[in-house]
C-alpha cells in the first residue's frame, strides 16, 4: 500500500448520514440565519477578488511595528507590502522548539519575546537590500531542497512576488535571530509572525497587489 493510500485510509469514520440527520442539517442552516444578528437584504456594493493576508508562521496575534507597513515594487511589477512583524511564544510541542524549552527558563523565554518585539518595532525595513535578500534566500532554499531525499517530493523553488516576500521575511528573521542569540536568549522558543498583503490566484500563484 502506498503512503497516499495509507493516509487516505487513516481517515476516522464519521456518523451515518441518515435522512433525518440530513434534514436536521438543512434545518440548522436556516435556524442559524435567524440566530445571527446580520440583517438580511444588505448586499455588498462590490466584491473585490479575495485579498488574502499571507501569514508566515502560526498564530494571529500580530502587532503592527513602528516602521510598518513597508512596501516595495518587485521585479515583476507587483507592489508588495509587509503589514506587520511580531513574535509570540512558540508551541513547545512543535518540532524545533522542544529543546529550546528544555534548556531555557520561563523568564528567559519571556524576555526573548519582549526583546524580539522591541527589536522588530525599531527594525529598518527600508534598509533591506532586496536583491541581496533574494540571493541569500536562494542559497538557503537550494540547501533545503538538496536535503530532501525524495526527488518527487522536493519543494518547488519560489518565483516572482512570492520569492521576494519570502526573501524579505527570511532576512528580517535572520537578523532577529542574530540579535536574540547575541543576547543569550532562546530564539528557537519564539514564533515570528510576518504578514503581507497579496492574492493567491486560481492558478495557486501568490501575487502582490498590482
Partner 1 sequence: MSDSDGQSILGLLQHTSTELLAFFERRVLPREDAADLLNETMLQAWRREDSVPEDHERRRMWLFTIAHNVLLNHQRSSRRRSELITKIRQQLAVYQPVLDGSESSEVRDVVLRLPKEQRELVLLIHWDGFTINESAEILGVNASTARSRYAQARAVLRTHLGDATPDT
Q: Please give the residue ranges that form the binding site for partner 1 (CB under 8 A).
A: 1-4, 6-18, 20-22, 24-33, 35-38, 40-44, 47, 50, 52-56, 58, 60, 91, 93-95, 144, 148-150, 152-156, 158, 162, 165-166, 198, 200, 204-206
Cell of 182: 547575541
Distance CA 128, CA 131 (A): 9
Identity of the residue, 122 or 149, whose beta carbon is nearer to partner 1 in the bound complex = 149
Identity of the residue, 44 or 139, whose beta carbon is nearer to partner 1 in the bound complex = 44
Identity of the residue, 94 or 105, whose beta carbon is nearer to partner 1 in the bound complex = 94
Q: Shortest Cβ distance from residue 187 to partner 1 (Å)?
A: 18
Q: Shortest Cβ distance from residue 209 to partner 1 (Å)?
A: 15
Burial class of 110 by CB neighbour count within 10 A (0 to 12, 13 to 18, 19+): middle
Q: Shortest Cβ distance from residue 200 to partner 1 (Å)?
A: 6
Q: Shortest Cβ distance from residue 122 to partner 1 (Å)?
A: 26
Distance CA 210, CA 207 (A): 8
Identity of the residue, 183 or 205, whose beta carbon is nearer to partner 1 in the bound complex = 205
Identity of the residue, 107 or 150, whose beta carbon is nearer to partner 1 in the bound complex = 150
Nearest to 162 by CA among 94, 59, 57, 76: 76
Strands 52-56 and 190-200: antiparallel
Nearest to 108 by CA among 33, 10, 183: 183
Angle between helices 106-121 and 160-182 (to 10 degrees): 130
Amino acid at each position: 500500500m502506498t503512503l497516499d493510500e495509507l493516509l487516505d485510509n487513516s481517515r476516522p469514520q464519521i456518523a451515518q448520514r441518515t435522512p433525518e440527520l440530513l434534514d436536521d442539517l438543512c434545518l440548522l442552516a436556516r435556524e442559524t440565519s435567524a440566530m445571527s444578528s446580520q440583517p438580511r437584504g444588505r448586499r455588498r456594493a462590490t466584491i473585490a477578488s479575495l485579498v488574502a493576508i499571507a501569514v508566515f508562521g502560526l498564530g494571529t496575534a500580530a502587532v503592527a511595528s513602528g516602521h510598518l507597513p513597508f512596501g516595495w515594487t518587485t521585479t515583476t511589477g507587483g507592489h508588495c507590502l509587509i503589514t506587520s512583524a511580531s513574535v509570540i511564544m512558540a508551541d513547545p510541542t512543535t518540532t524545533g522548539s522542544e529543546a529550546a524549552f528544555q534548556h531555557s527558563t520561563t523568564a528567559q523565554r519571556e524576555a526573548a519575546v519582549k526583546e524580539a518585539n522591541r527589536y522588530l518595532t525599531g527594525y529598518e525595513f527600508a534598509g533591506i537590500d532586496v536583491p541581496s535578500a533574494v540571493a541569500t534566500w536562494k542559497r538557503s532554499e537550494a540547501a533545503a531542497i538538496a536535503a530532501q531525499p525524495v526527488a518527487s517530493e522536493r519543494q518547488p523553488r519560489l518565483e516572482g512576488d512570492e520569492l521576494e516576500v519570502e526573501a524579505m521575511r527570511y532576512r528580517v528573521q535572520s537578523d532577529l535571530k542574530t540579535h536574540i542569540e547575541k543576547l543569550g536568549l532562546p530564539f528557537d522558543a519564539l514564533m515570528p509572525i510576518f504578514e503581507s498583503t497579496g492574492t493567491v490566484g486560481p492558478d495557486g500563484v501568490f501575487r502582490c497587489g498590482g
